Amino acid sequence: MPVLECAVHWAVPADEPHMRDLLDAGERDRYERFLRAEDKARFVTGRFLARTVLSEATGLAPGGIRFTTDCPHCGGAHGKPRLPGSGLDFSLSHSGDRVVLVLSDGPEVGVDVERESDRDVDRLGTMVLSAPERDVLAEMPPDQRKRAFHSYWCRKEALLKATGHGLAASMTAIHVSGPDEPAAVLSWDDDKAVSPVRLADLTPGPGYAASVAVLTDRPLKITETPIG
Ligand SMILES: CC(C)(COP(=O)(O)OP(=O)(O)OC[C@H]1O[C@@H](n2cnc3c(N)ncnc32)[C@H](O)[C@@H]1OP(=O)(O)O)[C@@H](O)C(=O)NCCC(=O)NCCS
């Protein structure tokens, strides 16, 4: 089976005039509504990264790229960004000092990066983890639980971003492999479940977890640009 190549592009949030200039009217409105400078920077950097990468892939001018963001649930404009007619799929995520985009030449992709924080993993685990995953976490030494929780979280959110469901689908219905095992979906008991799926972990640097999901049975070859 032919390998599927996925390009992963990392960036550090910035908020420069030449980046803002590429936003369309709807994106500008959204940019203005963010209250915190860091949220503005993550948003504008993500859309700039998407336009830069998709411009290279398609030959379109960055300023001419218009994304659709139709929500499959209600039709509102807050769904997965797409570039219709390109034959490409991409996904964006941002957290802390990381912005990441993954590009696929066809199959649907999702990416998630999370800065590891001192969240209450036992409380959040009831919303994010399946019963077997909660058991794995409960057995772990306390100093490994934060990393493990964020690894589970990213693998699942990447999957739900590939399908476009986002957090409108249940995360606890998905059972993924343990943090120290190769990333894989073990079971998914939900009417939103899809198959086949490939998962892979990325290398976001210390203090972060990140994963990519692709709706394909082809083996993945992931190429990551350096962060910066
Ligand atoms: C998608 C979602 C999981 C992102 O969560 P997050 O951890 O806060 O943010 P991330 O940084 O990882 O991802 C944000 C990016 O995901 C993308 N995105 C948004 N909605 C998406 C969706 N449904 N599927 C895939 N990607 C989506 C966007 O590119 C967004 O970046 P932007 O700020 O530049 O627009 C979350 O916003 C969500 O679940 N949204 C949909 C909820 C929904 O559908 N509710 C029902 C409404 S009727």
The yes-or-no verdict on residue 5 having pLDDT over 90 is: yes
Q: Return the pLDDT at 165.
A: 93
For the chain, list the strands marked E by DSSP. Answer: 4-11, 89-95, 98-104, 109-115, 174-176, 185-188, 198-201, 208-214, 220-224
What pLDDT is recorded for position 142? 87
DSSP β-ladder status, 220-224 and 4-11 = parallel
Check residue 124 and give its pLDDT. Answer: 93
Number of H helices, E strands in the chain: 6, 9
pLDDT single digits (tens) 32-68? 999 999 999 999 999 999 999 999 999 999 999 999 9
Q: Ligand 1 in contact with 49 (CB < 6 A)?
A: no
82 - beta bridge partners?
68
The DSSP code for 16 is: -
Report the pLDDT averaged over residues 61-87.
91
Q: Residue 124: which CATH number? A: 3.90.470.20
Beta carbons of 55 and 31 less than 8 angstroms apart: no
Q: Vertex 10, ends 210 and 161: CA angle to 5°?
A: 45
Domain count, the chain: 1
For residue 122, what pLDDT is reported?
86
**How far lies 169's CA from each of 74, 160, 162, 172, 194, in Å?**
14, 7, 12, 9, 12
* pLDDT, position 76: 85
Instruction: Identify whether the C-beta of residue 14 lies closer than 8 Å to the C-beta of residue 45.
Output: yes
Residue 139 CA, ligand 1 centroid: distance in Å? 32
pLDDT digits (tens, 9 = 90+) for 187-214: 999 999 999 999 999 999 999 999 999 9
Residue 78: the pLDDT is: 86
How would residue 226 be classed by pLDDT, with cut points 50, 70 and 90? confident
Other CB atoms within a 10 A radius of the CB of residue 87 amount to 10
The pairing of beta strand 98-104 with beta strand 89-95: antiparallel
Instruction: Note the pLDDT tens digit of each residue in 158-186.
Output: 999 999 999 889 999 999 999 999 999 99
Which residue from 216, 215, 225, 220 is spatially nearest to 200, judged by alpha carbons? 220
Residue 227's pLDDT is 82
Q: Say yes or no to pLDDT of 228 above 80.
A: no
Q: Is the dihedral of CA 160, 164, 167, 168 positive or negative?
A: negative
Q: Which residues pair with 83 in a beta bridge?
A: none
Q: Which domain holds residue 121?
A: 4-224
The answer to whether the CB of 164 is under 6 A from ligand 1 is yes
- Return the pLDDT at 75: 82
Please tell me the residue having the least CA distance from ligand 1 atom 46: 168
Q: What percent of the chain has pLDDT over 70?
A: 100
In the reported structure, the alpha carbon of residue 43 is separated from the centroid of ligand 1 by a whole-number distance in angstroms of 12
Contact 4/200 with Cβ under 8 angstroms?
Answer: no
pLDDT per residue as tens digits for the range 141-155: 988 999 999 999 999
Instruction: Tell me what pLDDT residue 128 has.
Output: 96
How high is the pLDDT of residue 111? 98
Q: Is 80 in the pocket of ligand 1 (CB under 6 A)?
A: yes
Q: Angle at the Cα of 123 (from 121 to 125), degrees rounded to 5?
A: 60
State the pLDDT confidence band at 118, using cuts at 50, 70 and 90. confident
The CB of 156 under 6 Å from ligand 1? The reply is: no
